[in-house]
Amino acid sequence: MKQYLTFFLLAATVLLLSACMSKSWTPTAETTPVIKKLLPDKAKELFGNNSSYVLIDVREPYEYAEGHIPNAVNIPLSGIVKGVNDLGLDKESSAIVVYCRSGRRSAEAATALSNAGYKNLYDLGGIIDWPYEIEK
């Protein structure tokens, strides 16, 4: 009798777990990432078209001073959300491009901005992959 009860409980658990996992998941606007990866050649094209965008270097000020992409604004990762909020950008329509040295901090910055409600985000990755001019 004890074996039947154990078997029944095990079977019921398996059925419940499989029923919970069988529901298909469909991405929605709320679950689809709003961060787009931007390659250097496409970024150069975007910048050259004089499009409306804000380019943000999320490195520390001393790194920014060593060289940055022209027209970039320096807002370190530690204060990215407050810094972007202070710029007064529209969360829905303002195109925001972030970059750092290698791509790790820019990904964190883009995620933080996405979590803060910004919708039009581009992650350029790292300046080490930027083959074009920089300014000091």
| Distances, alpha carbon 14 to alpha carbons 4, 10, 61, 94, 129, in Å | 15, 6, 56, 49, 49
Task: Enter the DSSP assignment of 32.
Answer: S
| Distances, alpha carbon 100 to alpha carbons 35, 60, 110, in Å | 15, 9, 11
Q: What is the DSSP string of 83-122?
A: HHHHTT--TTT--EEEEESSSHHHHHHHHHHHHTT--SEE
Q: Which residues are known to be catalytic?
A: 100
